[in-house]
Chains A and B, each alone.
Chain A
Amino acid sequence: MLSSPPPLSKRAVVDRYFLEHRAKVLDIAAFLDRFDRAQGEGADDFRVAALRDCCAVLLDGKPDRARRVLELLSDHSTEPIAKAPMKGATGAIDIKTKGGN
C-alpha cells in the first residue's frame, strides 16, 4: 500500500496544484459565460444542467467529490438496453429520457 494520507502536506498540495486548478475553474466560468452569451436552441441542454449540479457537489463540504461527481454523471439503470443507439457517449445523463439518479 502507498502511504495514506498522501506524502504531501496541505501547503505543498496547494503550492503544487493551485495554479493548475485556478485555470480550470476559470475555464468552467468562461464556458458558462460563453453558453449564456450564445444564441439559439440548447438553453435547456441536460449536459449543462449536469455540470451545474457537479459544481454544487464541489461546494458541499463532503468527501469523495470525484467519485460523487462521476456517479452524478452516470446512468444508474440496471438492465441492458435493446440496441445501441450510437457508438459514442455524451458524458452526462438526460434524466428526462433515461431516469438518471
Chain B
Amino acid sequence: MYIDPHVHMVSRTTDDYQRMALAGCVAITEPAFWAGYDRSSPAGFFDYFRQLTDFEPKRAAQFGIRHHTWLCINPKEAEDPVFAKEVIALIPQFLKCETVLGIGEIGLNKNSRNELEILDAHLALAAEHDLLVLVHTPHLEDKLKGTRLIMDAIRNHSKLDPGRVLIDHVEEHTVRPVLERGFWAGMTLYPDTKCTPQRAVDIFEMHGTERLWINSAGDWGNSDPLAVPKAQIEMKARGHTLDSVRKVSFDNPLKFLSQSGRFRIA
C-alpha cells in the first residue's frame, strides 16, 4: 500500500491509474503545473482547475484511488506578473472544493525576480487561508540557489509554519538544509533529472526518515508513475523493515497531508 503525494495525472492515461492501483496506490495528490506550453489566458487555468477538482477525482475513483489537488500558477509561467496575478485571483473560488489541499506546486524555476514576486503572492494567499504549501524547487544547476531563495521567502511570512510546508525535489545537496529549517522534504524519483529509487534510499539511510517522503511526479516527460513502488522494492531488497518502507511511502505523506483536514485514503 502506498500514497503518491506528487503525480500529474492529467498527463497520464487511465491505464496508469489501473497500474498504480494494482501496485497498491490508495491515494494521490496532484499539484498544478506547467502543461509543456504557456496558457494563452487565465481562462485556460480556470478550465485546468476544473479538471483537477472535478474530472480527475472521478477518473481516479474508478480504481479506488483518492485524488486530491493543489492549485497555483507554476513558476514556469510566472515571468509575466500581471498575467500570473490574474490566475492567482481565480484560486479562492476553488478552495471550497473538498479535494483541494493547499497551494502548490509553487516555487522558482530560473530564480528570477518575477518568479519571486509570484511566489510571494502565493505564500500570502496560503497564509491568508491557512493552507498547506507544496513547493517546487528548480531543476539541475538552479536547484541549490533556488532552494535557498525559497526558504528565505517563506521565512518572510511569519504566519506560515514550516511544518505545514513541503519542499519537493530535494537531492543530496539540498535535503539537509531543508530539514534543518523545519520543513518537510520530498524526493522525486525520476529516471534522469532528479533522484533514482536507489539514491532516494541512500538519502533515507544518511538522513533518516523524519519529515521526508518520496513521489513519482509522473507527468508528460520522462517519468514513471510506478516509481514509488519501485523504491519500496529497493528498500525491501536492501533489508529495510516493512515498517520503514511503510513510513516513507504511506505514514509520512499521511501525516503531512492530514494537516489539511481534507486528505482521505478511503
Contact = CB atoms under 8 A, between A and B. Distances in A.
Given A66-B199, A67-B172, A78-B148, A3 B141 contact: no
Q: Is the interface of A mostly helix, strand, loop or mixed?
A: loop
Contacts of A66: 171-172, 199, 202
A83 B172 contact: no
Interface of A: 1-8, 16-17, 64, 66-67, 70-71, 73-78, 80-93
Contact of B114 (A6, A83, A88): A83
A86 B209 contact: no
A61 to B, nearest CB: 18
Interface of B: 34, 76, 79, 109-116, 138-145, 148-149, 171-173, 198-199, 202, 204-206, 208-210, 237-240, 244
A87 B172 contact: no
Given A80-B113, A87-B76, A89-B142, A1 B209 contact: yes
Nearest to B195: A66
Contact of B145 (A2, A74, A84): A74
A58 B113 CA distance: 36
B50 to A, nearest CB: 25
A7 B138 CA distance: 33
Contacts of B115: 80, 84
Contacts of B149: 80
A24 to B, nearest CB: 11
Given A73-B140, A89-B140, 7 more contacts: A74-B173, A78-B145, A78-B148, A80-B112, A80-B113, A83-B112, A90-B140
A75 B145 contact: yes
| Residue of B138, B142, B198, B210 ringed by the most chain A CB atoms within 10 A | B142
A76 B112 CA distance: 15
Contact of A91 (B141, B144, B198): B141
Nearest to B171: A70
15 contacts: A2-B204, A3-B205, A16-B237, A17-B198, A64-B172, A67-B172, A67-B173, A70-B173, A75-B111, A78-B148, A80-B111, A80-B115, A80-B149, A82-B112, A91-B141
A2 B208 contact: yes
A53 to B, nearest CB: 13
A89 B141 contact: yes
Contacts of A7: 238-240
A92 B210 CA distance: 31
A93 B202 CA distance: 26
B198 A1 contact: no
Contact of A84 (B79, B148, B204, B208): B79
A75 B238 CA distance: 34
Contacts of A73: 140-141
A90 B199 contact: no
